[in-house]
Amino acid sequence: MHPGGALGRSGHDPAVGEPLHFLNRELGQLEFNRRVLAQAQDAAVPLLERLRFLCIVSSNLDEFFEIRVAGLKAQIELRADTPGPDGASPRAVMAEVSRQARELVQKQYDVLNAEILPALAAEGVRFLRRREWTETQREWIHQYFLDEVMPVLTPIGLDPAHPFPRLLNKSLNFAVELAGKDAFGRNSGAALVQAPRALPRFILLPPEIAGCQHGFVFLSSILHAHVNELFAGMEIKGCYQFRVTRNSDLYVDEEEIKNLRIALQGELPQRNFGDAVRLEVADLCPPHMSEFLLQQFGLCTDDLYQVSGPVNLVRLMQVPDVVNRPDLKFTPFTPGIPASLAKREDLFAAIRKGDVLLHHPYQSFKPVIHFIEQAATDPHVVAIKQTVYRTGADSELMRHLIIAARNGKAVTVVVELLARFDEEANINWASQLEEVGAHVVYGVVGHKTHAKMAMVVRREESRLVRYVHLGTGNYHSRTATLYTDFGLFTCNPQMTADVNDVFMQLTGLGKAGRHMHVLQSPFDLHARLLEAIAQEAREAREGRPAGITAKMNALLEPEIIFELYEASRAGVKINLIVRGVCALRPGIRGLSENIRVRSVIGRFLEHNRIFYFRSTDTVLLSSADWMDRNFFRRIEVCFPVLDKKLKRRVITEGLKLYLDDNTQAWEMDADGRYRLRLAGSARPRCAQTALLAELAAKPAPPA
């Protein structure tokens, strides 16, 4: 039974909501990465983009081990064997994660070595292996080693005076086996070489040296070839690259500290030295050396991953940016601008004419930047308020907020310091904002501020008018070119009053009231969604039209899943578009036979959250996924699209196109497995391609 007590409550079939009706979260994340890996295997995807997808899998797995696997290990060590909603204990999940992750990594390197690298070589993009180097290449590489690599290396011999060092999380290292005595008569038999992060992990050779336009050599190959020069007079018996992944989840007791920012600044450096959770080694590393390394990190053989290639594929993510081959990449495009904004320079005047909807990345993020930029210099603007979850280290938006504060505007920024892996950037922006007199608030203790809101207060004809931007994605210019998200501009008095109230809650004190339009976590969002699902079930039982279509990144919260099962049993047709992890099992007779689950994986990361309820014709956009954390441990907002024309746009662009997709959509079965839905004899339909054609700026006609 769910800890909240909702499953099996009075009036419902107690069989619904039992563990066999839930899928495991960790295994669902691995399943998602299989779908991403399929993009790297797809010959229809441009070659350099296939390499990028392969790297994305590695990046995803890094975070998976740093957070999810680290959490499982912590539970096992604490002997907290309480099963999750799926009924599996942490120990059982860990065993299956180890098996499936190993299979996934093996497949990933098979794709790299058997498909992508040979195909790149055929296109003149080569990674030169040591055994292939010509004499000219050897001389160039040796000189590079002497000039650029050797001066920054610090080899460490392992002996009583030099015990095994603390190694940074995910850093590239080399274990070196030695024979003989050094100048002081020492003979430890082993040494370590750490590759500083300042060194590039692959080096581009001049074309005349490489023999091709784009010839690369791995840093690991250079070190292997010249490691003997680091240990003069010693015999090198072996040199093996390895990488350790550590627990990177920060722990800060918010209730016990007086200054969260100072506490985080003290905690962040320790992230790189958390408990080890995974060891990656080259496949040529002998068993005795692997065992030695495992012992040093307190790991067991289940934590060892031997790979045929570089131990850090994430660094290859930069290769497509270095290689100037547009024919091997996705066709570039220029994001469009809505007609309502294109014909008016005054953004506030455009919003007064009617609500404005932006669909990123097909439509530009620049209007959002312009919203704050214009407010910063507009003499009629008196105040700006904004939430910041992820915005990046180089943020134009944040610079405009600083300018606004310098110009005397009342600037209030709610900065989430605990945005995972963005803590340092957010701390830096908070400091800069405070220096110019902005009000910086760090949200609410125990709740991450994940809502995406910006509000401008402007004096117009002797009265104050509020303008608001609400979004499903972060205020981050780069991710706005890669993630699909919706953003809404409005000056609707009721909507803006709701947003103002949320800001008042975040910065001040007081009880939460009921809003006219905006739903909010942790207060009423969960309950109102449960009620909306139940309403569709009631309509279906009465024989009236009913239906639910929802799009999100993850679906895990047990009570929501339970209510969806109940709606399915009542006859409600439910379509769920869930990019990542989904714990609900679709297609079970008598339980979820009216539920379809699909995941769309393509050029852009599907990131928007859309909830449509047919009986009331309600369209909601939100910053929140249907997860426990979003409902109960985060500040989230969910808001309706009130304008009828914009509502139809969201339904068409955000839902219908994705339900019709038969090229990038994966359909899920009751066991959590996914099958790519292929067009067959039907006309191929791709949601992302259609949206690019519809919303992106049209190329200028030839002169």
The catalytic residue among 21, 214, 447, 450 is: 450
Q: What is the mean pLDDT of residues 563-571?
A: 97
| Distance between CA atoms of residues 500 and 414, nearest Å | 13
Contact 604/484 with Cβ under 8 angstroms? yes
pLDDT of residue 104: 98
pLDDT given for residue 182 in this prediction: 63
Given phi > 0 = left and psi -120 to 50 = alpha, else beta, which region is 587? left
What is the distance, to the nearest Å, from the Cα of residue 632 to the centroid of all Cα atoms in its chain? Answer: 21
611/526 Cα distance (integer angstroms) = 13
pLDDT, tens only, 615-667:
999 999 999 999 999 999 999 999 999 999 999 999 999 999 999 999 999 99
- Intrachain domains 339-350+361-511 and 520-695 with the same fold: yes
pLDDT score at 656: 98
> Does the pLDDT at position 141 exceed 80?
yes
Comparing 164 with 502, which gets the higher pLDDT?
502
CATH of domain 134-315: 3.30.1840.10
Q: What is the pLDDT of residue 7?
A: 32
Work out the widest C-alpha separation in the chain, in whole angstroms: 90
φ, ψ for residue 103 (rounded to 5)?
-65, -40
**Rounded mean pLDDT of 203-229?**
95
Cβ atoms of residues 282 and 311 within 8 Å: yes
Q: What is the pLDDT at residue 14?
A: 38
pLDDT at res. 219: 95
Helix %, strand %, coil % for the chain, to 5? Answer: 40, 20, 35
- Contact of 362 with 694, CB cutoff 8 Å: yes
164 band by pLDDT with thresholds 50, 70 and 90:
confident
Instruction: Kindly tell me if the per-residue pLDDT of 100 is higher than 60.
Output: yes
Tokens standing for 629? 């954390």
Instruction: Tell me how far the alpha carbon of residue 660 is from its chain's centroid.
Output: 25
Q: Would you call 21 a catalytic residue per the annotation?
A: no
pLDDT at 694: 97
pTM for the full predicted model:
0.91
> Which amino acid, one-letter code, is at 137?
Q
Where exactly are the structural domains of the chain? 134-315, 339-350+361-511, 520-695
What's residue 701's pLDDT? Answer: 60
- Dihedral over alpha carbons 48, 51, 56, 61 (to 10 degrees): 180
Side chain identity, residue 638 = C
pLDDT of residue 1: 27
pLDDT at residue 425 in the model: 75
β 483-490/519-521 pair status: unpaired
Q: Please indicate whether residue 669 or residue 419 has the higher confidence score (pLDDT).
A: 669
- Asked if 359 contacts 486 with a C-beta cutoff of 8 angstroms, the reply is yes
Q: Please report, as a single letter, which amino acid is at residue 543.
A: G
600 vs 340: CA distance, rounded Å: 30
Beta-bridge mates of residue 159: 162
Residue 183 has pLDDT above 70, yes or no: no
Mean pLDDT, rounded, for 75-92 = 86
Which one, of 50, 191, 211, lies nearest residue 135 by Cα? 211
Q: Give the mean pLDDT of 597-622.
A: 97
Q: How many helices (H) and strands (E) does the chain have?
A: 23, 27
For the segment 489-528, what is each residue's pLDDT rounded down to a tens digit? Answer: 999 999 999 999 999 998 887 777 789 999 999 999 999 9
Q: How confident is the model at residue 184 (pLDDT cuts 50, 70, 90)?
A: low
**Is 495 in contact with 639 (CB distance < 8 Å)?**
yes
Q: How confident is the model at residue 185 (pLDDT cuts 50, 70, 90)?
A: low
- Retrieve residue 641's tokens: 């699209």
Question: Rounded to whole angstroms, how far apart are CA atoms 291 and 314?
Answer: 25
Q: What is the mean pLDDT of residues 387-409?
A: 90
What phi and psi values does residue 551 have, to the nearest 5 degrees?
Answer: -125, 135
Q: Does residue 686 register a pLDDT over 50?
A: yes
Contacts of 445 (CB under 8 A, 6+ apart): 254, 255
Mean pLDDT of all residues in 350-355: 96
Predicted confidence (pLDDT) per residue in 52-63, tens digit: 999 999 999 999
Q: Of the segments 77-91, 252-266, 272-286, 616-630, which one has the largest average pLDDT value?
A: 616-630
**Per CATH, domain 520-695 is 3.30.870.10:** yes
Contact present, 637 and 520 (Cβ < 8 Å): yes
How far is it, in rounded angstroms, from Cα 576 to Cα 410?
A: 42
pLDDT at 391: 82
The SS3 call for residue 159 is strand
pLDDT at 702: 59
Task: Say if residue 11's pLDDT is above 60.
Answer: no
Rounded mean pLDDT, 324-349: 93
Q: Which backbone phi and psi does 239 adopt, to 5 degrees?
A: -140, 125
Dihedral sign (CA 586, 591, 593, 594): negative
**Residue 686 contacts residue 602 (beta carbons within 8 Å):** yes
Q: Among 129-143, 165-179, 227-241, 420-434, which range has the highest average pLDDT?
A: 129-143
DSSP designation for 444: B
Mean pLDDT of 235-259: 73
* pLDDT at residue 232 tops 90: no
Contact assessment for residue 45 and residue 257, using Cβ atoms and an 8 Å cutoff: no
Which range (17-26, 60-69, 162-171, 244-253) has the least confidence? 244-253
Q: Domain spanning 339-350+361-511 has what CATH number?
A: 3.30.870.10
The 10s digit of each residue's pLDDT in 691-702 is 999 999 987 665
Out of 256-265, 374-383, 388-397, least confident range: 256-265
The whole-angstrom distance between residue 694's C-alpha and the CA centroid of its chain comes to: 26
Residue 443 pLDDT = 74
What's the half-sphere exposure (Cβ side, CA atoms, 13 Å) at 669? 6
| Percent of the chain clearing pLDDT 70 (strictly above) | 91
Q: Give the dihedral of Cα atoms 330, 332, 335, 339; nearest 10 deg.
A: -110
Query: Taking 60 as the threshold, does the pLDDT of residue 258 lie above it?
Result: no
Residue 146: the pLDDT is 96
Q: What is the mean pLDDT of the chain?
A: 90
Q: Pick from 458, 438, 455: which is nearest to 502 by CA?
A: 455
